[in-house]
Amino acid sequence: MQPLDLDQLLASSVDVDNAIDSTPDIDPWCSSVDWTVPVHRAFAPEAEPLILEGATGFATLARYQTAEGAELIAGLEPLWGFASPLLGSDHAATAAELATVLVDDRRWSILAIPGLPSVQTTVMAIARELAVLGDVGLQEGITRQLIDLTEGSNAWLQRRSAKFRRNLRNAQRRGRELGLDFEIIDHAPDLFERIHAIERTSWKGAQGDGITSPEMSMFYRAISQQLQATGRARCVVATVDGTDVGYILGGIRNDRYRGLQLSYAAEAGSLSLGHLLQLHEIHRMSASNVTTYDMGMDMEYKQRMADSPMTSVMLVVRRDTTGYVQRS
């Protein structure tokens, strides 16, 4: 496999996207460079990338240090584990290529491959290829919630409970009475500055959370700029009498929309802006032929809006220090 650095990975984004699109049952949005590179640069700039391009696909990894001082090789995305580092139509073949590289690499102690599909036959095939490196274990991954827009936003709305729909109608009525409006700022040059200012007025901003912390600010600035550069940023600001009171930021990849961040001013909490902003984008995405709205990490309120969960798993290899393990 041929090593690449981050800039070379970005330059190969078309080939990476093709590999992602051919990889079954992974999170195609967060496995892309739109997500992995900004997250890595914001949260793990000191970690050495280990990016490999092979005959069957890509492995997008990095080297980290554990608290005990051991070297951990894991996904380029260092936080959540949404992204699959194995990209290609045959997971097992890409894993086999990776194993031939790592078997002679004496630096690492643990290999973690997150973001893998929870399909037993697929996981077992990958595990068999990685078993040449040491003991392989299976761990739970992360669950995200998905909205199905295949039949449109109205069909999605009809699948919600009568109480949910009634609450939405009441919130829409209150919003109209107070002059609530929604402004699309997908291409606005001041997109990040505007949503950052809104965030500072929210409960997240008051706690130094959301996109106001240094690392999160760096990440969201980078990802919004990257999405804008390719025309795939989606952002809406909620206003009351011309004053910004909330926003929702996301991005498009093929027929999939990924929600990235949503926030609103603390004094606007009674307007149900979270649901109204989501509803606005559900209608907008449906009208633009989006079929899947990925709400991100599983949370209780998302379960009421989503149609199905998507759960991944992680394989962890603890290397065999005695040498190459022959498969039976």
Cα–Cα distance for residue pair 265/143, rounded to 1 Å? 28
Query: E strands, 12-166, where?
Result: 48-53, 58-65, 71-75, 86-87, 110-117, 134-148
Dihedral of CA 180/184/188/191: which sign? positive
Cα–Cα distance for residue pair 121/260, rounded to 1 Å? 31
Please give the average per-residue pLDDT across 282-311, as a whole number. 95
Stretch (H or E) spanning 297: strand 292-297
pLDDT in tens, 219-274: 999 999 999 999 999 999 999 999 999 999 999 999 999 999 999 999 888 899 99
Reported confidence tier of residue 141, pLDDT bands at 50, 70, 90: very high
- Residue 324 is predicted with a pLDDT of 46
Please give the average per-residue pLDDT across 308-326, as a whole number. 81
Interior/surface letters 141-174, b for 16+ CB within 10 angstroms, e for the rest: bbebbbbebeeebeebeeeeeeeeeeebeebeee
